A and B are shown apart, each in its own frame.
Chain A
Amino acid sequence: MTALRIRCRLFARYAEVTGREEVELALPASALIADAVAALRAQVPGGELLPTHPLVARNRRHALPTDPLADGDELAFLPPLAGG
């Protein structure tokens, strides 16, 4: 049963390889960030080119694959950082 709607954001090289900057995912209520990563890699053309364990941020904070998700979360997929 779908219970969570997650807005995924893709940046830089990840946006380039998928051709998408935003993707909305529907996930089960108990989904973790790792589940969202797996779903996006499976559902979006080019998603398989993303790493299985990318850096992620949940609602603009760095997060871990084991962190839970909540309905309406914004999940950002962050390519290797290059600031400075």
Chain B
Amino acid sequence: MEHVTRAPIDVVGLMTALSSPQRGGTACFVGTVRAGPEDGDVVRIVYSGYEAMLEEEFARILGEAGARWPGCAVAAQHRLGEVPLGDASVVIVSAAPHREEAFAACRYVIEEAKCRLPVWKREILADGSASWRENGAGATPSKRAEFG
């Protein structure tokens, strides 16, 4: 499965792909474009990425999750291009025999994705203005082990 898409992310499709009689717990994180009080009047975000590295880095993160939680299957996609308010920009799904592993793997993947994936976003406001936005100060691949 490709980890990058320019179309709306098929959340149910990702969950269905991981469905198995051996996996009794499925966790799903859906990150959507928001316009909170601190964000201004955002109408959409234009996501861009270093696509070749994005695919490889996402695969590395999923591999790490699979190694840490054996028996847990994880799928993930990030959307690039214009994403309107309310649409999903990233989806992580994890399925495991029990909920603990499913939640843990899902949390691990989204936290690593936030600080390792080469993705950038340009927020477009209702007045037509645009600005680059970045994740918080913690969104940096600072541990040497992550560089593998």
How long is the Cα–Cα vector from A61 to B56 in the complex, in angstroms?
Answer: 8
Q: Are A76 and B135 in contact (CB under 8 A)?
A: no
Please judge, given known A-B contacts A57-B50, A63-B147, whether A13 and B120 are in contact too, CB under 8 Å.
yes
Indicate whether A1 reaches chain B with its CB closer than 8 angstroms: no
- Given known contacts A55-B140, A78-B118, what 14 new A-B pairs fall within 8 Å (CB)? A12-B122, A60-B50, A61-B53, A61-B56, A61-B57, A64-B144, A76-B50, A81-B116, A81-B119, A81-B134, A83-B119, A84-B90, A84-B113, A84-B114
For B123, the closest partner residue in chain A by CB is A82
Chain A residues within 8 Å of B144, by CB: 64
Please judge, given known A-B contacts A62-B147, A64-B144, A82-B133, whether A76 and B53 are in contact too, CB under 8 Å.
yes
Indicate whether B40 reaches chain A with its CB closer than 8 angstroms: no
**20 A–B contacts, CB within 8 A, in A order:** A11-B50, A11-B118, A12-B48, A12-B120, A12-B122, A13-B132, A55-B140, A57-B50, A60-B52, A61-B147, A62-B116, A62-B146, A80-B139, A80-B140, A81-B139, A82-B139, A83-B78, A83-B113, A84-B110, A84-B119
Chain A residues within 8 Å of B135, by CB: 80-84
Indicate whether B94 reaches chain A with its CB closer than 8 angstroms: no
Residues of A33-84 contacting chain B, CB below 8 A: 55, 57, 60-64, 76, 78-84
Q: Are B141 and A9 in contact (CB under 8 A)?
A: no
For B148, the closest partner residue in chain A by CB is A61
How long is the Cα–Cα vector from A80 to B132 in the complex, in angstroms?
Answer: 10
Chain B residues within 8 Å of A79, by CB: 120, 132, 134
Distance from A62 Cβ to chain B, minimum over Cβ atoms (Å): 5
For A58, the closest partner residue in chain B by CB is B147
How long is the Cα–Cα vector from A80 to B135 in the complex, in angstroms?
Answer: 7
How long is the Cα–Cα vector from A81 to B122 in the complex, in angstroms?
Answer: 12
Indicate whether B31 reaches chain A with its CB closer than 8 angstroms: yes
Please judge, given known A-B contacts A9-B50, A57-B118, A62-B116, whether A83 and B90 are in contact too, CB under 8 Å.
yes
For B55, the closest partner residue in chain A by CB is A60
